[in-house]
Amino acid sequence: PDRVELYNKHDFDKFPKENLGENQAGTAPAYMMYTSGSTGLPKGAMIRHGGAINHIYAQFDALGFTESFNFLQTAPASSDISVWQFLAPILTGGKTVIVETETVCNPQKLFKLIQEEKATLVEFVPVVLRGLLDYISHLSTHERLLPDLKWMMVTGESASVELVNQWLKLYPSIPVVNAYGPTEAADDITQFIVEKPLPENQRTVPIGKPLANLNLYILDSQMQLVPIGVPGEICVSGFGVGVGYWKNEEKTKLSFVPNPFPNMAKVLPGTNQDFIYKTGDLGRWLPDGTIEFLGRIDHQVKIRGFRIELGEIEALLNQHSNVRETVVMVREDSRGDKRLVAYIVPNQHSVLISDLRNFLKEKLPEYMMPSAFVLLEALPLTPSGKVDRRSLPAPDWLQRNQEQAYTAPHTPVEEVISGIWTQVLGVDQVGVDDNFFEVGGHSLSATQLISRLRTVFQIELPLRHIFEFPTVATLAKAIAQIQQSKDGLLYSPILPIPRDRNLPLSFAQERLWFLDQLQPNNPDYNILAAVRLVGSLNISALEQSFNKIVQRHEVLRTNFALVDGQPVQVIAPNLTLKIPLVDLQLLPETERNAEVLRLAQRETELPFNLAQEPLLRVTVLKLDVSEHVVLFAIHHIVCDGWSTGILTQELSALYEAFSTRKQSPLPELPIQYADFANWQRQWLQGDVLETQIAYWKQQLAGAPTTLD
């Protein structure tokens, strides 16, 4: 800098002695705080004077502040919590005690400070409160007394039921205030006061009702209000909503939108229009008018077609007696498959991963079970005290060493099964006592496993056997029993059939065809994939690769027609795809990214005609000389989740070959999907069909006839 002024060197007598004039409107920005960046790059959120003052006075009313209130300033100055901790006591004539960071992190010093300063309100993030409680729990009843404390406020992250109850059991006369609020709105926007322990089987602590002069909405993706009990995005309007993000107009327009419910809103004086801030958090109204926080929307994930709330898994894990803290997130394994990982900080007593698995199995469906559990001494934190998810370590997908030793296969059948498992799961080694679902297996990979086992052992093996006999050892015994029973002998093999006849649809295809007849031009069964390519792109080799795949798989050249009242497959002998190239290089970066999303959405919404056109579309978007996005849309009647994996694998192999002027490395296919469809129709009839029907009648006995 050109000049540094040291104010303690100035003659302060030269400065005016009068109070500063009130020359700032309530609508003007008062301060800017950067978001934590836990879900992206930090953004500077600007908060108005009126919003900051409204929050402080709202808390005065809610918590009964007086001039005798003593606050602890525990939040770092970079956190929005610090603003009201600094200013609220000044407005009441109370006192703020500035607490050093070292003291906040030292439970013994922190507790002593609360006692000595006769604090009436303290506010901590959960991790600080947990450390404080661990220390207090070892004190005698007399030593732990806090006669002056009126409120224990928890903020920053979700407080668990166990944490709140632990406090109330030690201090039944000091309520817990569970506060919630984003940086983009003046500090807390809701809070829930807990005065007695919550039921132990309750999953979450509500975040309560909105503070004064704020309006809370739970909205769906179309910005429509959702009913009580239905999850949606938590949105807020009113005095506390900020101005937007500093020098980031694009993000501001996405997150701060005009209020679609102006008649329900209370507008900050001096503003012409009320804006809603979309928090990106999931919540739902409870019957008593409070809100339950369900986690981040970007923590709502989709794996193998199932939509999963990570917060639901975390809440269940927190109910385990030996779990102190937990975070569940999605990570990719070595093959790029998305899998759930649970990070656990155990209590003082050790916890076995097998116990955690069994605990969750009783409460969760298979698709919500974490594939790996990682035990940690502590969760990594950001400077603001929130969990730093980016610093969590990668898991060991084959978790065996801690709890069981590797046991090699003993029999030829076990060796074969173990070898198939390693191929399907993408791991180096599988022992006979390893559980298929605990070393990375799931329902989709179970179908792949069943298919290979049927082929190798030439037996009819039901899918449910993988769930009933999930280890190599138990599955080997089950296969041996089937081999000894003539009822378990494999049905006839799938053989190619002539193409000069009407080709039936498989049962899965017929279902989708029927739905298309009910709702023509419905794009709900479009499958869209987008692949970003970095580096030089040989568009000719890419087009050649796609056309080779289309020629290789008849189902990609198939349409569906009605013949004599029955749907049939119509296979085109040849089909050539022309891949359009859309050049987006001249667009500014923000517009370019928006156009990519728009084109992807267009492909998703553009319906297929099952009778007349190719059921696969491919488009290449050119973002830069060395960056492209390949969009391909395909109808579900010719493709599923397993098929898309095959398609991308073959595309990679073919492109690598064709771009270097080599021949296709892929072998010819012995059968096609039409052969399978015909075989399936021939197989599922007579005794086999009756057995299947009897099984499902038994499984569904007593089930309601209609859905509630």
The rounded radius of gyration (Å) of the Cα atoms in the chain is 31
Instruction: Assign 403 a pLDDT band (cuts: 50, 70, 90).
Output: low
Q: What is the pLDDT of residue 487?
A: 56
504-542 b/e with 16+ CB inside 10 Å = b? bbbeebbebbeebeeeeeeeebbbbbbeeeeeebeeebb
CA atoms within 13 A on the CB side of 101: 7
Give 591-635 pLDDT, tens digit per residue.
Answer: 888 899 899 999 999 999 999 889 999 999 999 998 999 998 999
**Cα(654)–Cα(661) distance, rounded to whole angstroms?**
10
Average pLDDT of the segment spanning 173-187: 93
pLDDT at residue 436 greater than cutoff 90: no
Q: Identify which has the larger pLDDT, 210 or 452.
A: 210
pLDDT range class, residue 23, cuts 50, 70, 90: low
Tokens encoding 623: 């973002």
In one letter, which amino acid is 131?
A: G
Amino acid at 113: L
If one compares 601 and 349, the residue with the highest pLDDT of the two is: 601
Residue 63 has phi, psi (to 5 degrees) of -115, 0
Coil, helix or strand at residue 565: coil
**Token duo for residue 217:** 């909405």
Among 102-106, 353-357, 499-503, name the most confident range: 499-503
CA 134 to chain centre: 31
Beta bridge partners, 312, equal none
> Could you tell me where in the chain the CATH 3.40.50.12780 domains are found?
28-295
How long, in residues, is the chain?
Answer: 708
> What is the predicted pLDDT for the residue at 36?
56
> What is the mean pLDDT of the segment spanning 439-456?
79
What pLDDT, on the 0 to 100 scale, is given for residue 4? Answer: 39
**How high is the pLDDT of residue 38?**
46
DSSP 8-state symbol, 387: B
Q: Region 186-209: what's the mean pLDDT?
A: 92
pTM of the full predicted structure?
0.54
Tell me which H or E stretch contains 677: helix 673-683
Nearest Cα to 293, choosing from 178, 386, 376, 392? 178
Architecture (CATH level 2) of domain 503-671: 2-Layer Sandwich (3.30)
Helix (H, G, I), strand (E, B) or coil at 60: helix
C-alpha span between 549 and 652 (Å, rounded)? 11
How high is the pLDDT of residue 547? 95
Furthest-apart CA atoms within the chain: distance in Å: 105
Report the distance separating Cα 562 and Cα 554, nearest Å: 19
- Locus of tokens 């970007």: 298
pLDDT of residue 401: 41
Look at residues 628, 618, 600 and name the one whose alpha carbon lies nearest to residue 538. Answer: 628
Reduce the DSSP state of residue 32 to 3 states and report it: strand
CATH 3.30.559.10 domain locations along the chain: 503-671
The first and second tokens of residue 401, run together, are 């060493």
CA angle 559, 565, 566 (to 5 degrees): 50
Summarize the chain as % helix, strand, coil (round to 5).
35, 20, 40
Contacts of 91 (CB under 8 A, 6+ apart): 56, 57, 60
pLDDT, tens digit, for every residue of 122-135? 999 888 898 899 88
For domain 28-295, the question of CATH label 3.30.565.10 is answered with no
pLDDT at 568 over 70: yes
Q: How far apart are the first and last CA of the chain?
A: 69
pLDDT single digits (tens) 511-561: 999 999 999 989 999 998 888 888 899 999 999 999 999 999 999 999 999
221: confidence class by pLDDT, cuts 50, 70, 90: confident
What whole-number distance in Å separates Cα of residue 34 and Cα of residue 25? 23
Burial 413-428 (b: 16+ CB within 10 A, else e): bbebbbebbeebbebe
Q: Which residue has the tokens 């049962």?
A: 507
pLDDT at 300: 65
Nearest one of 637, 666, 676, 667 to 454, comparing CA atoms? 676
Does the pLDDT of residue 708 top 70, yes or no?
no
pLDDT over threshold 90, residue 485: no
Contact 160, 323 (CB under 8 A): no
> Can you identify the CATH homologous superfamily of domain 412-488?
ACP-like (1.10.1200.10)
**What is the pLDDT, as a whole number, of residue 9?**
45
CATH 3.30.300.30 spans which residues of the chain?
A: 304-391
pLDDT band for 389, please (50, 70, 90 cuts): confident
- Spatial separation of the C-alpha atoms in residues 518 and 235, rounded to whole Å: 37
Range with the largest mean pLDDT of 15-29, 362-376, 465-479, 510-524: 510-524
CATH code: domain 304-391 is 3.30.300.30
For residues 372-392, average pLDDT: 83
Please give the share of the chain, as a percent, with pLDDT higher than 70. Answer: 90
286-312 pLDDT, tens digit per residue, is 999 999 998 888 776 767 656 677 888
Short-list 311, 314, 286, 285, CA closest to 297: 311
CA distance 592 to 598: 10
Start and end residues for every CATH 1.10.1200.10 domain found in the chain: 412-488
Confidence of residue 7 (pLDDT cuts 50, 70, 90): very low
pLDDT band at 377 (very low <50, low <70, confident <90, very high): confident
